[in-house]
Amino acid sequence: MEHISPLIQELTLILVTAGTVALIFKRLKQPIVLAYIVAGIILSFFITEDNPEYKNIETWAEIGIIFLLFGLGLEFSFKKLMKVGATAVIATSFIVICMIAVGYFLGLCFGWSHMASLFLGAMLCISSTMIIIKVFEDLHYTKKNFAGIVLGVLIMEDLVAVLLMVLLSTIAVSNKFEGMEMLYSLFKLATFLLFWFLLGTYLIPILLRRAKRFLDDETIMILSLALCLGMVFLATTAGFSSALGAFIMGSILAETMESERIEKLVLPIKNLFGAIFFVSVGLMIRISSLGEHIVPILIITAVVIIGRMIISTGGVLLAGQNLKTSVSAGFSLAQIGEFSYIIAALGMGLGVIEDSLYQIIVSVSVLTIFVTPYVVQLAEPTNGFLEKHLPQKWQNFLNKNTSGAHPINQNNLWKKLLTEMGTIVSIYYFISIVIVNSSLAYAVPFVQEWLPGIKGNLLTGTVIVTILAPFLRAIIIKKNHSVEYSTLWSESKSNRGPLISTIVFRVIICAGLIVYLLHELFHVNIFINIVLAAVILLLITLSQKTKARSRAMEIRFKENFNEKEKYRESKAPLTKGFVNHVMERDLHLSEFEIKPYFSIVGKTLKELNFRQIFGISIVTIVRGAMRINIPNGSERIYPNDHVIVLGTDKQTEFFQTRLEEKRKKYEKLEESFVPEVKMRQFQISPESRLIGETIRTSGIQEIYGCLVVGIERNETSIQDPNLDLTLEEGDIVWIIGEYENILKICEL
């Protein structure tokens, strides 16, 4: 008899338990993440660390972390990070710093070690993206103004969590808080992130475009997973965690045109392995020992809920939002979730935190997730209380900057020129440094094995300089002929010295890099190296081929980086300027998809009278590739239209609630049993009341909803009989209808 692999047996056990508990939690309308953790707790009664199955479940959990982080990366993207604005950056920075400090000192108060206290602080500073999005959907808050701020904070916190994982790993391994070592780790992380982001953004969209006609769903899914695991391998080789590699590749793919398709295809895999990871989280909880830790569990839970409510509200206020928005956003962030488990698992793996802390933090997370919906709904009455009892001068002070943090005025030509020039120099010089150091570390030894001596170094040096040429040229030449540079040059003679010095500085740093390369390869006199570097830079700046390569690379990178954004802007119903103008007021824009079963389908805007009923205005109707801006009253609403409405939070929430009522009614209708239509025959007996009746007057169609499709009479068949045909004794009647109705007709 063939035996099933233990790995499959364990996977079966995990999924059966998780699936059963998930159904119960769905019925109770509780977050699915909690269901998986509870499933793990149930399994913990049967599987302990002493069982051989435990190790295999740890392997499944590691795979789960990889695909969970890959999925989060697909939803993250560095482009989103650039767009979160000053509000999210300021608020997140304040929240993270304060919560790490609170967690650290709280851990010390419990008598824990400095390392355990630091890990506790890191676990408490990251909210749960999955839970907040689920709660917002359930409470219909996704269209509210503060929801955008919360999502921006979550994006920033995801990145912070990834950075913390790297820093905590470094600190834990060295067991020291050395400033230089942390700076080196940060530099190493920034180098890894930036290099692969730039390289990935340049190469991967080209690969996907050229292979587009071959990329069916199956192929693109396999390719995406291959890229994910490839980056996992590179990250672990470089000394980082597998989760970081998965997150980076997800964020790179998030910038491509195929990102939404990839995210949709990978979602089932992410859900599957994510469930296994959360089950493994619950598996490590020992219910029998939680009683010993009930005091720290309750204290930390209270600190997370109350502390994050106050600190998050303060962070959003500090970022320039009004009191009402800040309270609503702050109360939404009062929980910890999936990244806390990952950081806890990291600490356990490194052996720097006790098993008890892991169980405490998971218990705290479960409790805070349970109360999240109630805390979020508590924001509105809290706002009402503050409006009534807070002194008016305090309210005026807190609401004095309700427009949020705005971009700094860019009219200063010097500021604009130096900012753009600094960005270009930083990126290209960073790439050049990576190329030189990587080549010296790997390429030179490899070539020396096949071509030893000066010839090998000469060949390697020539190739390296050729690769560097377009980057060095861009560093020296870019922005020297820009409008800002020309205006400043002609505006005042006093500007010319500083402008020339910017060129001299860029030439010096490029020459220094080449001098370093020549010294490492040939070990000749420094003066000779400087002369050679000057000649090489002169040839690079004069070369038309290098100029063409530099421009082509820059254009290609910008096209790849902005391709998805430009496509979305071309499909967007409204311009960014209009959206920003509206967002500065209490009004904001929301998009709703009109389902075929909504009662408003087919009606004109005049008949619907949205402005009078809901207080909202229809700004745009998107119908396929067509846009109808500022539609008139005669315009009708059709199925699958996307309607852009303008209104306040309360108005859009009221409108959404009415639409949701129609959706719920339709879902109940879908869930109800609809009988199948069957074809059956019956013979008219001598006692039948149908004898002498026509098909029309018999009620077969009108009363019982059945259709007569044929009659067999005296060995002849009558197909599609006339409705005025009289039924006779002994006729065999063929009818189509619901089975219960057919039985009723047979009894006539």
Task: Tell me the pLDDT band of 582, cut-offs 50, 70 and 90.
Answer: very low
Same domain? For 259 and 111 the reply is yes
Do residues 429 and 186 lie in contact, with contact meaning Cβ atoms separated by under 8 Å? no
Per the domain annotation, does 34 fall within a domain? Answer: no
Per the domain annotation, does 461 fall within a domain? Answer: yes
Give strand ranges (E) for 630-742: 642-647, 677-683, 707-713, 716-719, 732-738
Go through the chain and tell me how many residues it has: 748
Same domain? For 368 and 491 the reply is no
Q: What is the pLDDT of residue 481?
A: 81
Per the domain annotation, does 287 fall within a domain? Answer: no
Instruction: Express each pLDDT in 200-227 by its tens digit.
Output: 777 888 888 888 888 888 888 898 889 8
Per the domain annotation, does 233 fall within a domain? Answer: yes
Q: Among 633, 655, 671, where does a domain finish?
A: 671
Q: How many angstroms separate the CA atoms of 643 and 592, rounded? A: 5
Q: How many domains does the chain have?
A: 4
Q: How far apart are the first and last CA of the chain?
A: 59
Q: What is the pLDDT of residue 408?
A: 37
Q: Report the mean per-residue pLDDT for the chain.
A: 80
Nearest Cα neighbor of 594 from 662, 653, 646, 667 is 662
Instruction: Express each pLDDT in 505-547 by its tens digit.
Output: 988 998 988 898 888 888 878 888 888 888 988 888 888 888 8
Crossing angle for the helix pair 217-237 and 53-76, to the nearest 10 degrees: 110
Q: What is the pLDDT of residue 562?
A: 67
Same domain? For 611 and 724 the reply is no
In CATH, what number is assigned to the domain containing residue 603?
A: 3.30.70.1450
Nearest Cα neighbor of 511 from 441, 432, 438 is 432
Low-confidence winner among 126-130, 267-271, 394-398 (lowest mean pLDDT) = 394-398
Same domain? For 242 and 367 the reply is yes
Q: What is the pLDDT of residue 53?
A: 61
Per the domain annotation, does 397 fall within a domain? Answer: no
Instruction: Express each pLDDT in 646-678 by its tens digit.
Output: 877 677 777 777 776 655 555 555 445 557 788
Same domain? For 151 and 251 the reply is yes
Q: How many angstroms separate the CA atoms of 693 and 688, rounded? A: 10
| Residue % of the chain over a pLDDT of 70 | 86
Same domain? For 235 and 349 the reply is yes
Same domain? For 594 and 499 the reply is no
Same domain? For 687 and 622 the reply is no
Q: Which two tokens stand for residue 548?
A: 């063409």
Task: Tell me the pLDDT band of 61, cut-offs 50, 70 and 90.
Answer: confident
In CATH, what number is assigned to the domain containing residue 71?
A: 1.20.1530.20
Same domain? For 343 and 227 the reply is yes
Q: Which two tokens stand for residue 368?
A: 């805070």
State yes or no: pLDDT of 288 exceeds 80: no
State yes or no: pLDDT of 743 exceeds 80: yes
Does 272 or 290 have the greater pLDDT score?
A: 272
Task: Tell me the pLDDT band of 418, cut-offs 50, 70 and 90.
Answer: confident
Same domain? For 381 and 433 the reply is no
Per the domain annotation, does 476 fall within a domain? Answer: yes
- Residue 15 identity: L
Instruction: Express each pLDDT in 173-184 by its tens digit.
Output: 666 555 566 666
Same domain? For 479 and 345 the reply is no
Instruction: Express each pLDDT in 141-176 by its tens digit.
Output: 776 777 778 888 887 887 788 778 877 877 776 665
Same domain? For 596 and 629 the reply is yes
Domain of residue 145 covers 64-272+292-389
Per the domain annotation, does 402 fall within a domain? Answer: no
Q: Among 650, 671, 692, where does a domain finish?
A: 671
Instruction: Express each pLDDT in 713-732 by its tens digit.
Output: 887 888 888 888 888 888 88
Instruction: Express each pLDDT in 537-580 by its tens digit.
Output: 888 888 888 888 888 877 777 776 666 666 555 555 554 444 44
Per the domain annotation, does 346 fall within a domain? Answer: yes
Q: Among 515, 536, 565, where does a domain finish?
A: 565
| Residue % of the chain over a pLDDT of 90 | 3
